[in-house]
Amino acid sequence: MNELEKQLGQKHGDESVLRSLHLAVVKYWQVKVVEELESIEDELPLVEMMKKRMQESTTGSATSNMSVQKSDPKPAPLRPFIITRSQQQKAVFGLGYPSIPTMTVDEWYNQRFGHASSTSQQQQHQPHVNDANAHSGELEQEEAEERERARLMRWDDYKDDHRRGWGNTHNKG
């Protein structure tokens, strides 16, 4: 159409160019009208469905409003709730201020050192029992360390023989 308009501007009064321009405009609007009609045909079932819904809602709303008003219970009042994360955080990190001491310094000193004289006398009377307990404790600790070392060696050997990813390859989803 743009080319026809240019030709019409150059040739003042050529009827064939003017006729071609008018035919092109008519064809353009013909295509537009056909597209719009197809669009309307596609939307027509949607409009009918909405019309049915509106009719159903107006006829059904009169009866449903009565039942809704009668059976509409009041909503339950909102209850306060406790955020447990903050409680757990306070349990772990404290309340944000230093703890109140449970005993005075004098009480702590008497507890720590006041009874020390009686405990030191008891230790002097039973030195062999403590040595035997200490020796058996050392033996148990050495045995535990040896078991742990053996376990780690077995695990190291296992890792040498069984490379990563060499397991069950049949059941991979």
Query: pLDDT tens digit string along 47-103?
Result: 999 999 999 988 876 555 555 555 668 888 877 766 676 666 666 666 666 566 677
Q: Report the alpha-carbon distance of residue 45 to residue 52 in Å, rounded.
A: 11
Helix/strand/coil (H/E/C) assignment for every residue in 22-34: HHHHHHHHHHHHH
> What is the pLDDT confidence band of residue 163, given thresholds at 50, 70 and 90?
confident
What is the domain range of residue 39? 2-59
Question: Is 143 within the bounds of a domain?
Answer: yes
The number of folded domains in the chain is 2
Question: Is 93 within the bounds of a domain?
Answer: no
Question: Is 47 within the bounds of a domain?
Answer: yes
Structural domain ending residue among the three candidates 21, 40, 59? 59
> What does pTM read for this prediction?
0.29
Structural domain ending residue among the three candidates 18, 35, 59? 59
8, 10, 12, 17 alpha-carbon torsion, rounded to 10°: -30
Tallying the residues shown for the chain, one arrives at 173
Q: 23 with 29: CB under 8 angstroms?
A: no
Question: Is 137 within the bounds of a domain?
Answer: yes
Question: Is 88 within the bounds of a domain?
Answer: no
CA 49 from centre of chain: 39
Question: Is 100 within the bounds of a domain?
Answer: no
Structural domain ending residue among the three candidates 22, 39, 59? 59
In the chain, pLDDT over 90 holds for what percent of residues? Answer: 27
Question: Is 37 within the bounds of a domain?
Answer: yes
- Of residues 39, 17, 149, the one with CA closest to residue 47: 39
